[in-house]
A and B are shown apart, each in its own frame.
Chain A
Amino acid sequence: MLLAEFQRKKRVISVRVEKTELTWSKTSRRCPGDGSVTGSEEERRTMADDTTKTDVQIPVTTDVKTPRPKKAPELPILERRNWLIHLHYIRKDYDTCKAVIKEQLHDTRGMCEYAVYVQALIMRLEGKIQESLELFQSCAILNPKSSDNLKQVARSLFLLGKHKAAIAVYNEAGRLNQKDWEINHNLGVCYIYIKDLKNAEERLNAALQQNKHDLTFMMLGKMHLLQADTEKAIEVYKSAVEFSPENTELSGTLGLLYMQLGKYQKAFEHLGNALTYDPNNFKAILAAGSMMQAHGDYDVAMNKYRVAAHAVPESPPLWNNIGMCFFGKKKYVAAISCLKRANYLSPFDWKILYNLGLVHLTMQQYASAFHFLSAAVNLRPRMSELYMLLAVALTNLDDAENARRSYEQAVQTDESDPLVNLNFAVFLYNQDDKKAALLQYQEMERKVNAQVENNSNVEFDPEMVEMAQKMATALQVAETVYWNKAGKDGKNAQRSSSNKASRSQQPLGTNQTLGQAMSSAAGYSKNIQNTAEAEVNAPSPPPDPPGDPDDDDHDVDETPETAKLKEKKRKVKAAAE
Chain B
Amino acid sequence: MALSDADVQKQIHHMMAFIEQEANEKAEEIDARAEEEFTIEKGRLVQQNRLKIIEYYERKEKQVELQKKIGASNLLNKSRLEVLKAQESHIKNVLYEAQHKLNPISQDHAAYSKLLEDLLCQGLCQVRVSTHILISNTLEARLEMLSEQMLPEIRAMLFGANPNRKFDN
Q: Do they bind each other?
A: no
